[in-house]
Structure 1
Amino acid sequence: MRVLALIFVFTFLFADINSTIEHNATNTQITNDVIKQIEAIDASLKGNIWITRYANYGTYQKIKNELEESEALLKKDGKKNAELVKKIQNLKDQLELLKEYERTPFANMLVAPEIDISPRITNPIALISGFSYIKKIANEKDDYAKRTKELDTLIGKLRDKEVLLVTLLNGDSKNENLQNQIYNLRTQIGEFEGAKQIADTTFDVYEKRADEAISIAKNDIKSQIFSTANIAIFIIVIIVLSFFFKFIAKKTITDNDRFYTVNKFINFINFILIILTLLFAYIENITYVVTILGFASAGIAIAMKDMFMSMLGWIVITFGGSIHVGDRIRVMHNGLLYVGDVIDISILRMTIFEDVTFATYHQNRRAGRIVFIPNNYVFTELLSNYTHQGMKTVWDGIDVVLTFDSNHKKAVHIAKTITRKYSKGYTDIAKRQMTRLRSQYSIKNPNVEPRIFTFFEPHGICISIWFMASSYATLTLRSTISAELVEAFNKESDIMIAYPTQTMYLSKKQNPQAHSELDQDLIRE
Structure 2
Amino acid sequence: MNKIFYDKLIVTTLAILIVYVLSTLIMKILVKKEEGVKTKHLTRKWIGYTRTVIIVFIIMLVWLQDVFSVTTILGFTSAGLALSLNQVILNIAGWMLFMIKRPIEIGDRIEYKDIKGDVIDIRMFYIVVLEVGNWVKLDQSTGRLATIPTGKIFTDPFFNFTSGFNAVWDEIDVLITFDSDKDRAKEIIIDIANKSMDKTIFTKIRDEQKEMSKKFAVKSGKLTPITYFSIKESGIQIELRYLSFVRKRRDTNNFINEKIYEAFMKEENINFAYPSQKIYLEK
Letter in 1 for 2:142: A
Q: Structure 1, residues 134-159: CA drift from partner, whole Å, max 9, x if none?
A: xxxxxxxxxxxxxxxxxxxxxxxxxx
Greater share of residues in helix: 1
> Out of 139, 152, 168, which is 1:394 matched to?
168
> Out of 65, 80, 92, which is 1:311 matched to?
92
- Alignment correspondent of 1:325: 106
Q: Structure 1, residues 281-324: CA drift from partner, whole Å, max 9, x if none?
A: xx744431343135423xx4343332222222222333232101
Task: Measure, in 2, the Cα distance between the counterparts of 1:317 and 1:352.
Answer: 15
Task: Measure, in 1, the Cα distance between the counterparts of 2:204 and 2:138.
Answer: 29
Task: Measure, in 2, the Cα distance between the counterparts of 1:432 and 1:284.
Answer: 53
Change (3 A) 1:458 1:378: farther
Task: Measure, in 2, the Cα distance between the counterparts of 1:319 and 1:397.
Answer: 36
Q: Which runs of 5+ in 1 are unaligned?
A: 1-282, 508-518
Q: For this pair of structures, how many residues does the alignment match?
A: 217
- Alignment correspondent of 1:353: 130
Greater share of residues in strand: 2
Letter in 1 for 2:127: M
What SS is found at the alignment partner of 1:368?
strand
Tell me by how many angstroms 1:435 deviates: 2.4
Say which one has the larger Rg: 1
> Out of 270, 275, 278, which is 1:500 matched to?
275
- Alignment correspondent of 1:414: 188
Q: Which runs of 5+ in 2 are unaligned?
A: 1-65
Change (3 A) 1:326 1:418: same
Change (3 A) 1:418 1:369: same
Task: Measure, in 2, the Cα distance between the counterparts of 1:493 and 1:463.
Answer: 18
Task: Measure, in 2, the Cα distance between the counterparts of 1:490 and 1:286.
Answer: 83
Change (3 A) 1:432 1:284: closer
Task: Measure, in 2, the Cα distance between the counterparts of 1:381 and 1:408.
Answer: 44
Change (3 A) 1:394 1:458: same
Higher relative contact order (CA 8 A, sep 6+): 2
Q: When the two structures are superposed, what TM-score results if normalisation uses the length of structure 1?
A: 0.38
- Alignment correspondent of 2:57: none
Q: Structure 1, residues 464-487: CA drift from partner, whole Å, max 9, x if none?
A: 112121112210111111111111
Change (3 A) 1:490 1:427: farther
Q: What percent of counterpart residues are identical?
A: 25
Tell me by how many angstroms 1:393 deviates: 1.4
Task: Measure, in 1, the Cα distance between the counterparts of 2:144 and 2:223.
Answer: 32
Letter in 2 for 1:342: V
Q: Structure 1, residues 426-480: CA drift from partner, whole Å, max 9, x if none?
A: 2332222222222222123433222222222333222111212111221011111
Q: CA RMSD in A?
A: 2.8
Task: Measure, in 2, the Cα distance between the counterparts of 1:446 and 1:321.
Answer: 27
Change (3 A) 1:353 1:504: farther
What SS is found at the alignment partner of 1:394?
strand
Q: When the two structures are superposed, what TM-score results if normalisation uses the length of structure 2?
A: 0.68
Task: Measure, in 2, the Cα distance between the counterparts of 1:361 and 1:453.
Answer: 27
Matches within 5 A, 1:63-462: 284-297=67-80, 300-332=81-113, 337-355=114-132, 357=133, 359-362=134-137, 367-389=142-164, 391-425=165-199, 426-462=201-237
Matches within 5 A, 1:474-485: 474-485=249-260
Q: Structure 1, residues 48-88: CA drift from partner, whole Å, max 9, x if none?
A: xxxxxxxxxxxxxxxxxxxxxxxxxxxxxxxxxxxxxxxxx
Tell me by how many angstroms 1:423 deviates: 0.8
Change (3 A) 1:377 1:501: farther
Task: Measure, in 2, the Cα distance between the counterparts of 1:365 and 1:429.
Answer: 24
Tell me by how many angstroms 1:360 deviates: 4.2
Change (3 A) 1:484 1:428: farther
